[in-house]
Amino acid sequence: MSGVGPEPGGRLEGLLAELEETLAAIEKTEESEEAVELLATMAELAREVQAEIDRLRADAPDAPA
């Protein structure tokens, strides 16, 4: 272990991958109840993506005000 923290944006990439997977699942489902549950999952993931973007911006050394 090198002691270096995780790559900046790594969590964001993971969240975006989850969003893509959830969208693919919505496109495949024929069950309306499952689609609603998946949409709720997407909404939560979108909130997490926005929070991660905000965190990355705040942590950036040259972040605009």
Q: Residue 2 — pLDDT band, cuts 50, 70, 90?
A: very low
Domain ranges (residues) in the chain = 30-58
| Choice between 4 and 25, residue whose per-residue pLDDT is larger | 25
Longest dimension (CA), the chain: 47
Whole-number Å distance between alpha carbons of 6 and 28:
33
- What pLDDT is attached to residue 60? 81
Q: What is the mean pLDDT of residues 37-52?
A: 96
* Cβ contacts of 53-59, under 8 Å, gap ≥ 24: 53/12, 56/8, 56/9, 56/12, 59/8
Over residues 11-39, the pLDDT tens digits come to 999 999 999 999 999 999 999 999 999 99
